[in-house]
Amino acid sequence: MKIMRTFFLLALLCLALGINTSTAALAVKPTNIADSASIEKTLDESIQSFQSLSKKERKQRIQDAKKAVKEWKAAKAAGTASDDQVLAIIFAILIPPVGVLIKEKGQVTNKFWISLLLTLLFWLPGAIYSVLVVTGNA
């Protein structure tokens, strides 16, 4: 959950600074020393490009980033944008019992067993049931 939050905030920062957010640039793992150097280089280049903008453009990008963060926080507080729920929905479609497990916070309940049974019988009923459980409609 913290990794997803960090990734989201990094993406907002990249948006504000105008960094090229290609998957190759964002897939860098900071634990490797060689990768840390490339992260620093990318960050330095981004800061330089941000500083080369006019004062008005910088202010506008910062305001856009702050607005996006506020919208995200409001949606999260309203319960519409939960990292766990998004992950659970994805797994409910791909591997239905795992989506139910994520929704039930790792506890094996009757909903999990029903999802597992339906998935073993045929994938589609298990996926439908799991999506219903994860979205709260079951």
Domain count, the chain: 2
Both 68 and 92 in one domain: the answer is no
Both 74 and 103 in one domain: the answer is no
Both 123 and 60 in one domain: the answer is no
Domain finish residue from 42, 63, 78: 78
Both 119 and 59 in one domain: the answer is no
Both 25 and 69 in one domain: the answer is yes
Both 88 and 129 in one domain: the answer is yes
Both 56 and 98 in one domain: the answer is no
135/138 Cα distance (integer angstroms): 8
Question: Which residues constitute the domain of residue 7?
Answer: 2-78
79/82 Cα distance (integer angstroms): 6
Q: Which long-range contacts (CB under 8 A, 24 or more apart) does 89-92 make?
A: 89/131, 89/134, 89/135, 92/127, 92/130, 92/131, 92/133, 92/134
Q: Is the pTM of this model over 0.85?
A: no
Q: What is the pLDDT along the chain (138 residues), one digit of tens a residue?
A: 555 566 655 565 555 555 544 444 444 444 555 567 778 888 788 788 878 888 888 888 888 888 888 887 777 677 655 667 777 788 788 888 888 888 888 888 888 888 889 889 888 888 888 888 888 776
